[in-house]
Structure 1
Amino acid sequence: MPRKRSTDDGDELLARLGSLTAQARERAELQRTQVELAIELQRGMLPRDLPTAPGVHLAVRYTPANLGLNVGGDWYDAFTLPDGRIGLSIGDVQGHNIEAAAFMGQVRVGLRALASVTGEPGELLGRTNDLLLALGSELFATCTFMRLDPATGVLESARAGHIPFVWATADGKSGVVDDEGGPPLGIDKGMEFPVTRHRLATGGVFVLVTDGVVEGPSLSIEAGLDQVVRLAGIAAVAGLEAHALAAAVIKGAESVGHEDDAAVLVVGLDSPAQHP
C-alpha cells in the first residue's frame, strides 16, 4: 500500500507540473504575441516616407528594446507644413505596452493635424497638450518639435520634457543644445513651451534621439549624450551622409544596454544657406 500511495503522489505531482508548464507556455506565447503586435503597431504608425528639399538631408532609425519585452511608444516624424517649411518631431510615450504604442499614434497624428493650423513649435505643443488631456488618457509623452526653413537653414524648436538635441558643424564644433524646455505633454492644462531659434549651417547636423539611445544600465544620460556629440562631430567634419550618422548613433545605443526603444532623427544641410 505505501508504494501505491507514493506512486499516486508522484503521478499527481507530475500532473501538476505538466499543468503549470502548459500555463507558463500559454503566458509566454501570449506575451510574445502582445510584443509582436505592439512592434507591428508601432512600426505601422511611423512615416514611410520623409519630405525632401534641396540641400536638406533627413535620416531616421528605430529599434525596439534589447529585451524584446519593453516595446514602448517612441516615434519620429517629418512632414511638409502648409507654408513649405518642414515639421520634425521625436518623442517617447510613458509605458511599454500596446497602450503606449497606440497613444504614440494619437500624439503623432495630433501633432500633424494641429500643424495644419499652426506650425509655431511652442503653440503647437501647447495645443497638442490640451488635446491629449481632453482624450482622458492617463499616459503622457515627452516630445521635441522643430520647424525648419530649407531656404534659410533657420530652425525653431520647442521641447516638452524631452532630452535636448545634439548639434555639430563642419568646422569641428559640436555640443548639446542648451535651451529651455516645458513639461511633458498630457500632464497639466495651459502649459507654455518656450521656442528657441537656431541656424543649420552648411555641412552641419542636428541629431534628435529618445532616451533609449543615450541612457541605460551601463551608461548615464550625460555620457550617452557625449557619445552622440562625438559621433555627430566626426560625421560633420568628415562630411558623412545623414544616413551613416543615424546608423552609427543607433549602433552606439547597443553599448548603453538600453531597456527602452531607441529612435534617432538626423537633420543635415549641404547647400549654402541664404540669410533672411
Structure 2
Amino acid sequence: MRGHSADPPDDGQQLLVTLGRLVDQALAQTKLQRARVELAMALQRHMLPPALPDLPGLSIAARYAPSRDGLDVGGDWYDAFVMMDGSLGLAIGDVQGHDVEAIAFMGQVRTSLRAIAQTTSDPREVLGRANNLLISMGCGLFATCCFLRFDPAGRDLTVSRAGHVPMVWATASGRSGIALDRGGPPLGVLPGELYPVTHRRLTEPGVLVLLTDGVVEGPTYPMESGLAEVARLVQVGFDADPDVLAATVIKVADQTGHSDDAAVLVVRYDGPPGPG
C-alpha cells in the first residue's frame, strides 16, 4: 500500500515561517549592534580623563556630546594635566572618523601627547614629536589638536595648533574674542612639521574655551558664526561657574545641524595670588 506524504504547508504557514526567520535575524543584528555601541562607548569613557586638575587660582570644566550618526561615538577628546615643570597642559582634539578605530587612534594621540609633555614643556615640541610618532605608527589616520601650556605663577600662556578650531577667550574687563593664532597641519600628515606657537601674558582674570568643530560648524552653519556665538556666550556668562559655562557652550551644537560629536574645555583664571 502506497504511503501518503504530509500535505505541503499552505501560503499562510510559509509566510509565518519566513517572518519568524526574519525576526530572529533582526533580533540577532540588533543585539550585535547594541554590543558594538556599548563597546565603543566604554572605550571612549576610558579614553577621556576621569578627573581634571585642581590647581590654585584655576577652575577647569569639560563637556562631551556623542555623535548622532554611526555608533554615536567619535574621535573628539580633551585633556588637562600637570606638566613636568609644574605648569598646566591643556589639549583638545578631533580624530577623523566615528567608529572604534577612531576611538583607538584618539587614545593613541592623547597618550602620546601626555607622555611627550613629561619630557618637554614646549607646545611646539609636544605637537611636533607627537606628529612624527603618529606617522611612524602607520595608522593612516589624522587628528587636529590645540595644545596649551599655562603657567599660573608667571601668567604665561603658550598656544600651538595643528589644524584645529581656534579657542575663544573673555576677560573680567568685558572683552572677548577668537584667538586666531597661526597653526600647522593636522597631526599624522606631514613628517618633520614645525608647529608655530603664540605667547601671551594674562594681565587680568579671564576664561579660555577650547572646543571642537562639532560645536561651532554645520552643513549650512559657518564656523565663523559658531565661534562668534560662543564668544558672545562666554562674555555674557563670564561670572558663571565653569561647569555651567561648558554646558551652555556645548549647546551651540544644537544650532549648527551638525551630527558630529563635540567637546568643550573651559578654564577660568582668577588672577595672580594676592600679597602674603
State TM-score, norm by structure 2. 0.90
Distance 2:204 2:247 in 1: 21
Distance 2:124 2:27 in 1: 49
**Residues 224-233 or 211-220, more deviating:** 211-220
Distance 1:213 1:11 in 2: 53
* Local SS of the residue matching 1:145: strand
Q: Which runs of structure 2 are paired with 1:12-161 in the superposition (5 Å)?
A: 12-67=14-69, 69-161=71-163
Aligned to 1:247: 247
Distance 1:22 1:201 in 2: 66
Out of 201, 207, 210, the residue aligned to residue 209 of structure 2 is 207
* Local SS of the residue matching 2:120: coil
Letter of the aligned partner of 2:47 in structure 1? Answer: M
The 3 A distance-change label for structure 1 pair 73 and 183 is same
Give the aligned length.
Answer: 268
Letter of the aligned partner of 2:251 in structure 1? Answer: K
The 3 A distance-change label for structure 1 pair 235 and 203 is farther
Query: Which entry has the higher C-alpha Rg, 1 or 2?
Result: 2
Pick the structure with more helix per residue.
1
Q: CA deviation at 1:37?
A: 1.3
Distance 1:214 1:21 in 2: 41
Distance 2:146 2:273 in 1: 23
* Local SS of the residue matching 1:185: coil
The 3 A distance-change label for structure 1 pair 59 and 50 is same
Q: Which runs of structure 2 are paired with 1:170-249 in the superposition (5 Å)?
A: 170-217=172-219, 219-236=221-238, 239-249=239-249
Q: CA deviation at 1:52?
A: 2.3
**CA RMSD, 1 decimal:** 2.1
Distance 1:273 1:258 in 2: 42
Q: CA deviation at 1:67?
A: 4.6
State TM-score, norm by structure 1. 0.90
Letter of the aligned partner of 2:248 in structure 1? Answer: A
Q: CA deviation at 1:103?
A: 0.9
Distance 2:194 2:23 in 1: 53
Distance 2:201 2:38 in 1: 40
Residues 201 and 269 in structure 1, CA contact (< 8 A), matched pair in contact too: no
Distance 1:51 1:178 in 2: 26
The 3 A distance-change label for structure 1 pair 28 and 121 is same
Q: CA deviation at 1:201?
A: 4.1
Letter of the aligned partner of 1:212 in structure 2? Answer: G
Out of 168, 171, 184, the residue aligned to residue 169 of structure 1 is 171
**Residues 162-171 or 22-31, more deviating:** 22-31
Letter of the aligned partner of 2:116 in structure 1? Answer: L
* Local SS of the residue matching 1:254: helix
* Local SS of the residue matching 1:104: helix
Distance 2:140 2:19 in 1: 39
Residues 200 and 268 in structure 1, CA contact (< 8 A), matched pair in contact too: no
Q: CA deviation at 1:250?
A: 1.6
Distance 1:121 1:195 in 2: 7
* Local SS of the residue matching 1:74: strand
Which blocks of at least 5 consecutive residues in structure 1 are unaligned?
none
The 3 A distance-change label for structure 1 pair 79 and 263 is same
